[in-house]
Amino acid sequence: MNAREGTYDAARARARLERESDVPVLEPTRGGLAERFSRLIGDRHPVIAFLVAVITGYVLLAATSVVVGLFVTELLLDIDGLRRLDERFPAWLEGERTPGLTDASFVGSEISGGKAVVGLLLLIALVMAVLRRWRIGAFIVFAVAVESGTYRATTFLVERRRPDVERLEGLPVDASYPSGHTAASIALYSGIALLLTSRLARGPWRVAIWVVALAIPPIVALARIYRGMHHPIDALAGVPIGIAALLVVLFAARVAGAAVATREARA
């Protein structure tokens, strides 16, 4: 087989994979960065290619998050007016608490809490395992895993105490920066929305899915501030972490897709 025939077979295998794909957004763009990365790491099993891309992206994301966190806490918050403004909002919300708002904040916090997130991840992983859609399941699970790992690395190296108000939760860790709940709400719910709208949803359904997915992070962030767990800047810091975690795992899924296409072409 000459080089031209090999290129043609690879393109034909890629086209077939795209036609058969449940979620086109997970497929690599022809000649794109994912394909180039797949060639860079050599002929690897798709699982290995996926993990190499995830680990590489996680290390870069965690390092960036720590650097940004140190800049925010050590330099930006030294601006006295900004610090006072950041501390004033949780204190104001504490004075506005009512039983109804407190119950609502509990719901807003728990939709991105440990039990809800773990439960959804287990359900998605189980369903995708039964359907043998491994890349779809891995996309959601690892998006949250990368987000969680980045959050923990950042809180370990970046120190900021929670707001000086009555807390409505008894978490043992006094780490305010960044908001892991806010980051997780983006990684999980926007990740699900991305998968659904990539293949299954069109027209008004696409809009409705994204309206819900994009409404959840502000609700979660406000609930966490209301409950005395974060300052506004901490909640805001969770947004780029959640988005970046999605992008890291989306790239990894495409790298795995490129590795699959290479093996299909060879076969």
In a domain, 124, yes or no: yes
Q: Which residues constitute the domain of residue 177? A: 56-255
In a domain, 161, yes or no: yes
**Single pTM value for the model:** 0.87
In a domain, 148, yes or no: yes
* Mean per-residue pLDDT, 220-237: 95
Report pLDDT digits (tens) over 114-133. Answer: 889 999 999 999 998 898 88
More confident position, 171 or 49 = 49
Could you tell me where the DSSP H helices lie in the chain? 3-20, 33-40, 46-74, 80-95, 99-110, 114-131, 134-157, 180-185, 191-199, 204-226, 232-266
In a domain, 38, yes or no: no
Residue 34 has pLDDT above 70, yes or no: yes
pLDDT band (50, 70, 90) for residue 6: very low
In a domain, 37, yes or no: no
User: What dihedral angle (degrees, nearest 10) is formed by the CA atoms of 45, 133, 248, 257?
Assistant: 50
Res 80: pLDDT = 81
Res 255: pLDDT = 93
More confident position, 12 or 239 = 239
Of residues 243, 250, 112, 261, the one with CA closest to residue 182: 112
Report pLDDT digits (tens) over 85-115. Answer: 999 999 999 999 999 999 999 999 999 988 8
Number of domains present in the structure of the chain: 1
* Mean per-residue pLDDT, 28-50: 87
Report pLDDT digits (tens) over 54-80. Answer: 999 999 999 999 999 999 999 998 888
Res 21: pLDDT = 52
Residue 17 has pLDDT above 90, yes or no: no
In a domain, 93, yes or no: yes
Give the CA distances from residue 190 to residues 30, 62, 117, 199, in Å, rounded to whole numbers and listed in that order.
Answer: 25, 20, 13, 15
pLDDT band (50, 70, 90) for residue 24: confident
Could you tell me where the DSSP H helices lie in 132-231? 134-157, 180-185, 191-199, 204-226
In a domain, 28, yes or no: no
Average pLDDT taken over every residue of the chain:
87
Contacts of 56 (CB under 8 A, 6+ apart): none
In a domain, 47, yes or no: no
